[in-house]
């Protein structure tokens, strides 16, 4: 009887961790491991970074003040020629204007509606970024990817 219990336990353990993924789940998993080719990274002064993914209509930025105080926003991107705007996820009141020219992006002035996204001594107002293939990933203070 003991041998039957051991054999059954081994069979159950062997089945653990095996799951059949649907083709959609396999595709989603592959996409999450592959960086989006449409994402363009921009570097600003110091550690400031911005990314645009016009294919998915997404954008994000992080700008630093003193120490690690920063402004961080991630959201939808709406573009009209050289003008664009980032609308942070879940926020109907905040709009961050962007001016896109050639290889650069300039953020518009900070508004009271967007103050939530900035810590003390940090501002994104007028921050400028240049396209950079070597800037590395755009991440928040904890190292989590913004794009």
Each residue of 90-118: pLDDT tens digit? 998 999 999 999 899 999 999 999 999 99
- Is 125 within 8 Å of 41 (Cβ atoms)? no
* 3-state class (DSSP) for residue 6: helix
**Mean pLDDT, the chain, whole residue set:** 81
143: in domain: no
Q: What are phi and psi of 88, to 5 degrees?
A: -55, 145
Domain shared by 92 and 65, yes or no: yes
The pTM of the full predicted model, rounded to 2 decimals, is 0.73
Domain shared by 100 and 62, yes or no: yes
Domain shared by 8 and 45, yes or no: no
Domain shared by 44 and 109, yes or no: yes
Distances (CA, A) of 103 to 33, 71, 76, 94: 27, 22, 20, 25
Domain that holds residue 68: 39-131
């Amino acid at each position: 009887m003991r041998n039957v219990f051991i054999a059954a336990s081994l069979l159950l353990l062997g089945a653990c961790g095996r799951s059949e993924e649907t083709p959609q789940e396999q595709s989603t998993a592959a996409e999450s491991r592959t960086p989006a080719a449409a994402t363009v990274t921009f570097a600003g002064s110091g550690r400031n970074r911005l990314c645009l993914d016009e294919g998915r209509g997404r954008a994000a930025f992080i700008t630093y003040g003193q120490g690690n105080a920063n402004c961080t926003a991630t959201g939808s991107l709406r573009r009209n020629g050289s003008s664009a705007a980032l609308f942070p996820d879940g926020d109907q009141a905040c709009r961050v204007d962007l001016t896109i020219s050639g290889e650069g992006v300039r953020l518009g002035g900070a508004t009271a509606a967007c103050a939530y996204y900035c810590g003390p001594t940090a501002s994104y107002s007028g921050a400028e970024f240049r396209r950079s293939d070597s800037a590395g990933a755009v991440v928040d203070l904890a190292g989590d990817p913004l794009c």
